[in-house]
Amino acid sequence: MLGDDAHGSGRRNGGPHERLNAVKLFMDESGNGNPSQPLIVGAVELGDDADDVEEQVRNLYKRLFARSSLVGLPGFEEFRKNGFHGSTDPREVSGPFLELIRAIFFRAYMVVTDRTEVPGNSEAELIEFMYVKLLSDLLIRHRDEPELLCYIEQNESMRSIIRRLPASATKRAHETLGKAAPLPQLNIAMVAKTDYMSMAIVDYVMSAVTRWLQADCTTNPKDWAYRAFREIEPFVSVLYSFERGRISSRRDPLH
């Protein structure tokens, strides 16, 4: 399944193939190329029903794709071509998708920066640092698991970074632990969103977080950005800012 674009590293040998007991992560970044937005790297972890979730997302896509009444609506043809996307889907698409993800189980992990406290001379270096940080934390979190399967949306500019991530994240996890302890094998693949439509979950979560952060983290229920964030906050295991520290987590939610 991981194919030619797969890269792996960890404690076990073996090919980059899906295993029933592997933890599945879907990762993406948001705000890159747009200095007016916070830069976010996020991961969504699905449970043992990951295949069922993927089927539900695909079935919803098929139903919405077939709605001829939406033809001509801004964003609808892009949705038909590329699948769900949090920043461009019309409300007639985003509404049903949000209802779907609120009814499934997933965990979201995000690191965010305003680009002032993250090392790197370029945005690509910032993004790589953030991926390494998040993946190393996830390796430690799941250190009793045999494997982490990580899918990242296909992006040519990410290809060289992805090749380095398994070794870099594993090294950082060992540094954090202070010893060369056993860790899951980390296998990473680049995939098109149309190949794994569940990728859109992390995109929608990051879109909600971006709007809320741009609204100065408002807690006013009259503000739509806050209401939208509250819809996804129960699924947020951690939202960590390099400048402000932990913003929200399951242990310390906003409400």
Rounded to an integer, what distance in angstroms lies between the CA atom of residue 194 and that of residue 225? 28
* pLDDT of amino acid 117: 83
Question: Domain 3-11+21-249, CATH 3.30.420 — does that match?
Answer: yes
* Domain residue limits, the chain: 3-11+21-249
> pLDDT tens digits for 15-64?
344 555 678 999 999 999 899 999 999 999 998 889 999 999 999 999 99
Q: Kindly indicate the confidence band of residue 82, based on its pLDDT and cuts at 50, 70 and 90.
A: very high
Q: What percent of the chain has pLDDT over 70?
A: 91
Q: Who contacts 189 (Cβ-Cβ below 8 Å, separation ≥6)?
A: 1, 2, 3, 5, 6, 7, 16, 149, 150, 151, 152
* pLDDT of amino acid 119: 85
> pLDDT tens digits for 22-32?
789 999 999 99
> pLDDT tens digits for 159-183?
889 999 999 999 999 999 999 899 9
Cα of 36 vs its chain's centroid, Å: 20
Mean pLDDT of 207-214: 96
* pLDDT of amino acid 21: 60
DSSP for 25-54 reads: EEEEEESTT-TTS-EEEEEEEE-TTHHHHH
